[in-house]
Structure 1
Amino acid sequence: MPDLSQYVQQLTPLFITAPTARNGVTLLQRLVNSSRKMIVYGENMNFMSSLPKLVHSSVQVHTDRTEEFDAARKQFLEQTTEGWTSNLWPEPQPFMMIAFEAFYKSAATYQQLSEKYGYQRWGIKNPLNEPQMIERMRILMPQARFVFIYRNPIDVIKSAKSRAFITNVDQLRQYAIQWREVLSAVVKYGFPNVWVLKYEDLIAKPDPVIDQLERFAGISGIDRSVMNRKINTFAVGEQKMAGTNEKGYVKPDDLTADEKKIIIDITGQVMQQFGYDI
């Protein structure tokens, strides 16, 4: 286990993240992958969120409740089976070690399979569902780098509607809240090894931004022509999904005046903070 943890902690993956889906993570994935210097995989919430969260909570349980569990178990084993037994636990440390091992083995498997495919480095593109995803991953993989891309929430939600990620007003509100809260928190925390990128800057001046992306990721040779192609969904195949078509691109949906008002009411202050007109 110590050798495994040390092995994983020296790896240098690139994680491409955003406050929600539809902020440009796939475009960045395509750009990085075009270099053929590393392979950036698609979303894996088990690896990016569930496993780090399991490690974090297991450490908390071990740290905060071991004495309580030891006392409850001692009472049960040596005195009486009667009483309040919600805190009747075996020792929590082995479970904590299993959580660490599950994460480290998963990371090592990413590395080993990437090498099998001909790549020494790898990454994952995965929008965040909470800013703590970055914090937890940084603890487990301290050499990792993160590109956090954000986009005008009006355009984000137009795109999300076109893919049926948003089908009602409640989902629209939640999307806007998540965009506001995650973006604000990531910028506030100021994590090391995290590059916060505005999508509109990439679109307006791709060459200098791509130069910066290459330097940050430690790669070269990104194919700039990727910027000329729009791909925001699966092309139609055997599997039919909402928003698929033969070109792999779905035009963003229009928003009603009421929908725009809801978005601006929720995100307006943060939009202005990041240079968006409302």
Structure 2
Amino acid sequence: MTANPILVSSPTPRSGTTLVQRLITSSDNGICYGEFCGRRIVELCEFAHKELVAVQNNRERQEYEWDNIFQGNHDYWMVGLDLPGEFPGHALVGAVQFYKQNYDEATRAIDKEIWAAKVPKIAFRDVVKTSDLISDLKCIYIYRNIYDVIKSQKTRGWFERESDLVKACEEWLANTEVIAALKRAAFQNQPTMLHVVQYEDLTENLQDNIEQIEAFTGLSGIKPEVADTKVNTWKPTSRENLEPRVSYEAPQGLARHECELIDKICGERMRELYPELSMEDFLPKN
């Protein structure tokens, strides 16, 4: 039997999930699958959760329709007819469990005990929905200051217009609310299935954070030297040669108007999460 699965996620992309993935995969007993695997299982849980709510809301109509059928009345439109009784809910929950079972079996097949999956961006409410259906799930939620997030996203060419930058800032603001709430309570009320990591603290105090991650997850033997190599992109050398041509691109700087817009949207949250930082720290030096 595999140990508790782990969801590795963050409020927004370019926050450090790749580093956490690489650290987990370097361990003696764990593997962290990539974004395709992670997104599939989150979206499957999202679908199942939505449909379970729909099944519950439709229960009265279902009882009426099945009563008609059992009485021999077939002369009406049965577009909403679902499986009888508890079978719809069992089918949805069972689909998630079967999917997880295959993750478990795949992990055992490579002689690992713990699997994780990386999802670079997820709202915490979706973490909760996923854990509702995978009851033993644990989540490592890593966050990073918005200025460095935007610098990294800008390097990838994600901002064609100002509205793209606004959207990225609003996403970070919305998805860090749970972190801010936990910080206000000195992380005393943190759910047992959640481990929050600040990217800057992870890189500055790597060994301490590795020990905390191992204690939280049951992983062992994480290799700290993995963090010595910077990786933030992947480009194959050619179509025939999949060896990466580039594994790291230095983040671009921010223009003054970009810093001012970031501060306008995210400044209050930044002062709460990063009181030691200010907009001036990220302004152009020239």
TM interval, short-chain normalised: 0.7 to 0.9
Counterpart pick for 2:80 among 68, 71, 89: 89
Kindly report the root-mean-square deviation, in angstroms, between the aligned alpha carbons of the 2 structures: 2.7
Kept in 2: contact 1:13–1:122 (CA 8 A): yes
Q: Which residue of 2 aligns with 1:205?
A: 205
C-alpha distance in structure 2 between counterparts of 1:114 and 1:175, whole Å: 35
Q: Secondary structure at the match of 1:196?
A: strand
Q: Supply the AA of the counterpart residue of 1:99.
A: L
Q: Which residue of 1 aligns with 2:185?
A: none
Q: Supply the AA of the counterpart residue of 1:91.
A: D
Gaps of 5+ in 1: 1-6
Kept in 2: contact 1:29–1:125 (CA 8 A): yes
Q: Which residue of 2 aligns with 1:274?
A: 273
Deviation, structure 1 residue 159: 0.5
Q: Which residue of 2 aligns with 1:42?
A: 34
Q: Cα 1:273–1:31, aligned 2, differ >3 Å: closer, same or farther?
A: same
Deviation, structure 1 residue 257: 1.5
Q: Cα 1:262–1:73, aligned 2, differ >3 Å: closer, same or farther?
A: farther
Q: Does 1:154 align with 2:153?
A: no
Q: TM-score, normalised by structure 2?
A: 0.82
C-alpha distance in structure 1 between counterparts of 2:153 and 2:199, whole Å: 16
Q: Secondary structure at the match of 1:246?
A: strand
Q: Which residue of 1 aligns with 2:186?
A: none
Deviation, structure 1 residue 158: 0.8
Q: Which residue of 2 aligns with 1:166?
A: 159
Q: Supply the AA of the counterpart residue of 1:20.
A: T
Q: Secondary structure at the match of 1:197?
A: strand
Q: Which residue of 1 aligns with 2:122?
A: 129
Deviation, structure 1 residue 102: 2.2
C-alpha distance in structure 1 between counterparts of 2:48 and 2:128, whole Å: 12
Q: Cα 1:194–1:252, aligned 2, differ >3 Å: closer, same or farther?
A: same
Q: Cα 1:239–1:100, aligned 2, differ >3 Å: closer, same or farther?
A: farther
C-alpha distance in structure 2 between counterparts of 1:162 and 1:226, whole Å: 23
C-alpha distance in structure 2 between counterparts of 1:134 and 1:187, whole Å: 17
Q: Which residue of 2 aligns with 1:145?
A: 138
C-alpha distance in structure 1 between counterparts of 2:168 and 2:43, whole Å: 20
Q: Does 1:261 align with 2:254?
A: no
C-alpha distance in structure 2 between counterparts of 1:239 and 1:167, whole Å: 27
C-alpha distance in structure 2 between counterparts of 1:156 and 1:260, whole Å: 12
Kept in 2: contact 1:187–1:196 (CA 8 A): no
C-alpha distance in structure 2 between counterparts of 1:239 and 1:156, whole Å: 30
Deviation, structure 1 residue 270: 1.1
Q: Cα 1:252–1:239, aligned 2, differ >3 Å: closer, same or farther?
A: farther
Aligned pair count reads 263
Kept in 1: contact 2:97–2:134 (CA 8 A): no
C-alpha distance in structure 1 between counterparts of 2:90 and 2:162, whole Å: 43
Q: Which residue of 2 aligns with 1:215?
A: 215
**What pairs up with 1:7-86 in 2 under 5 angstroms?**
11-43=3-35, 44=37, 46-71=39-64, 78=73, 81=76
CA offsets 1:8-33 (integer angstroms, 9 cap, x no match): xx851122110011000110111111
C-alpha distance in structure 2 between counterparts of 1:225 and 1:61, whole Å: 48
C-alpha distance in structure 2 between counterparts of 1:164 and 1:239, whole Å: 22
Kept in 1: contact 2:7–2:38 (CA 8 A): no
Identical residues among aligned pairs (%): 24
Q: Does 1:185 align with 2:178?
A: yes
CA offsets 1:177-230 (integer angstroms, 9 cap, x no match): 111111213554743220111111112221212221221121221111112110
Deviation, structure 1 residue 173: 1.4
Q: Supply the AA of the counterpart residue of 1:184.
A: E
CA offsets 1:144-203 (integer angstroms, 9 cap, x no match): 221111001110111112123333322221111111111213554743220111111112
Q: TM-score, normalised by structure 1?
A: 0.84
* Larger CA deviation: 52-61 vs 37-46: 37-46
